[in-house]
Chain A
Amino acid sequence: DGGITQSPKYLFRKEGQNVTLSCEQNLNHDAMYWYRQDPGQGLRLIYYSQIVNDFQKGDIAEGYSVSREKKESFPLTVTSAQKNPTAFYLCASTDVWRSDEAFFGQGTRLTVV
């Protein structure tokens, strides 16, 4: 079955630590996205990538980094510079030829301990 896989489902980070969230898709989609969602809030765009080896900052990129070395993979690193990283992180992808419909992974819940 085609889809998007995020791992891990739950992640705990210590103060000052970098952590990496994985996102893999087998939908052959060109575009991939990372969103952050805080309780009771909507989706805020962190980074997006339209093509391999290229990515753009979203609205809240500070304290995060990404890479896009393969079409299928778009990992997100939450660095120690992100002072309030506790949130629900969602990875999504779109096929631009299907009018922007976004497919989501199951999400990663990150907690600072």
Chain B
Amino acid sequence: QKEVEQNSGPLSVPEGAIASLNCTYSDRGSQSFFWYRQYSGKSPELIMSIYSNGDKEDGRFTAQLNKASQYVSLLIRDSQPSDSATYLCAVNGDSNYQLIWGAGTKLIIKP
């Protein structure tokens, strides 16, 4: 059974600090990795995708992938109260059509 693990949180971070979210996955053959943000009662929205080892930066967001250690992380710099949400990690599964989802980490940014 392929799995994606995330700490459920909540993770509380002061406004302006760096929030660090982590995700581990079990399938060494995984090739595509995604971070989605989900506000309460809303649908998930894609914020970052990463496909190769290393860092990928987009504005205040940085995704980090380490395939040897089978983890992917998301850093949010200069955290804002509007970043408070649940962050879902997703990894491609058995085929090009399926994603395996983590349960999500709830992030709270305190003003």
**What chain A residues lie within 8 Å of B41 (beta carbons)?**
88, 107, 109
Q: A41-B103, A43-B101 are in contact. Are A99 and B44 (CB under 8 A)?
A: no
B46-59: contact bitstring with A at CB < 8 Å (1 yes, 0 no)? 10010100000000
CA distance A107 to B101 in the complex (A): 17
**What chain B residues lie within 8 Å of A107 (beta carbons)?**
41-43
Total interface residues in chain A, CB < 8 Å: 23
- The prevalent SS among residues of B at the interface is loop
Interchain CB contact under 8 A, A42 and B101: yes
CA distance A104 to B36 in the complex (A): 11
CA distance A99 to B104 in the complex (A): 21
- The prevalent SS among residues of A at the interface is strand
Interchain CB contact under 8 A, B103 and A105: no
Residues of B in contact with A, size category: 20 to 34
Interchain CB contact under 8 A, B43 and A31: no
Inter-chain residue pair count (beta carbon < 8 A): 50
B79-111: contact bitstring with A at CB < 8 Å (1 yes, 0 no)? 000000000101010001111011110000000
Interchain CB contact under 8 A, A105 and B43: yes
For residue B20, CB closer than 8 A to chain A, the reply is no
Interchain CB contact under 8 A, A102 and B43: no
CA distance A45 to B45 in the complex (A): 17
Q: A43-B88, A90-B43, A104-B44 are in contact. Are A50 and B97 (CB under 8 A)?
A: yes
* Distance to closest chain B CB from A64 (angstroms): 17
CA distance A36 to B46 in the complex (A): 18
Cβ-neighbour of A101 out of B34, B101, B104 (below 8 A): B34
Q: Which residues of A contact B (CB under 8 A)?
A: 31, 33, 40-43, 45, 48, 50, 88, 90, 94, 96, 99-107, 109
